Amino acid sequence: MACLASAFKALCLSLLFIAAVASRPTNRPKVFNVRRYGAKADGKTDNAKAFTNIWKSACTRKGGDSKIYVPKGTFHLGGVEFVGPCANQIEFVIDGTLLAPANPRNIKNDTWINFRYINNLIISGAGTLDGQGKESWPLNDCHKNPNCPKLAMTMGFAFVNNSRINGITSLNSKMGHFNFFSVHHFNITDVTITAPGDSPNTDGLKFGFCSNINISNTHIGTGDDCIAILSGTTNMDISNVNCGPGHGISVGSLGKNKEEKDVNGLTVRDIVFNGTSDGIRIKTWESSASKILVSNFVYENIQMINVGNPIIIDQKYCPHPPCEKKGESHVQIQDLKLKNIYGTSTNKLAVNLKCSKSFPCKNVELSDINIEHKGVKGGPSTAVCENIDGSARGKMVPQQCLN
């Protein structure tokens, strides 16, 4: 009898435990499937209103996280803005295709899909953002046409913190693919960015006034910078990125505007540049409006495959000559390390370090550089150093030019 009483007591305790666990509130997010909320996957209907309404419901929901789900299918989407702050964490899962209007004039803002003032945002999925940029690219002539139309970036983030993007693809943007402004603590992983090599101004990832950014395991092939790092950006780590076609990983251009801020704390490692016009690139305007510092950069374990300008510092940047000249660049570059950089250059000038005469580059370290010339014209690769203080060690191809 004592045994039966003990067994009965144990059974009761087990049942009470199971009931308690079952009664606990779950942390599963509420799922907002866009089809169930009125979105149509016919590739024609503009779903901007449906997506905006879904966002409002998901963003204001209290008592748990929200998940907006875009299933497989093609959802035409006009320009939309998703604005916080939200009452919870939101995950935006895109497994289908979001299709931008082909006519650029049908997007009124400078960004097709824009997220603002949000914390703890997750964008994930195996889907595609199709910018339908082909019709827009011939209109991208603002350097010579003051009446050129404003073209939209594909996706923008402003004042978005503690967030991440994972897995999605951006295809054929009208202008840049992803733009980040005043974004902090943001991770980007397993993203694919694709546009033709001759599509103008289609930067892959563009950052300004951002901090604590991590980019990894990402492939970028586009018509402009694979990654552009602009004024006020600090503490960025870029690893395991394939870049090509494109204009490389660029810091700048810098110095053109008065309100610019320092750029520091950049690590670029385990990168492959394949068929790009540039690889490692820092560019500042010759006639600077601002006096800023570019410092604490490390480039390490980088392969160049038939790259036009594998390593370049250009402190007389002028994309569309002639440019107004009012003196040397006032951007100070210092504390720059380049380690284990190897591969091939299509130009003989493989290492081109031309710094400001007024603000020479300081503390530049080259270690184990091995870049051979594989261009049409023969001869070994060469290096040029101007207004630069630094050191070199290990294997040096081309022959180092630092004093």
As annotated, the active-site residues are: 247
Residue 241 parent element (H or E)? strand 234-243
Sign of CA dihedral 251, 255, 257, 260: positive
Assign residue 340 a region (left: φ > 0; alpha: ψ between -120 and 50; beta: otherwise). left
Residue entry with tokens 């007024």 = 358
Q: What is the sign, positive or negative, of the torsion defined by CA atoms of 302, 373, 248, 251?
A: positive
Tokens read off for 27: 């942390």
The letter for the amino acid at 204 is G
Residues 6+ apart with CB under 8 A from 221: 193, 194, 195, 197, 242, 243, 244, 245, 246
What is the chain's alpha carbon radius of gyration, rounded to the nearest angstrom? 25
Residue 98, strand partner residues: 75, 129
Q: How many helices (DSSP H) and strands (DSSP E) are in the chain?
A: 2, 28
Phi, psi of 79 (to 5 degrees): -60, 135
Beta partners for residue 131, in sequence order: none
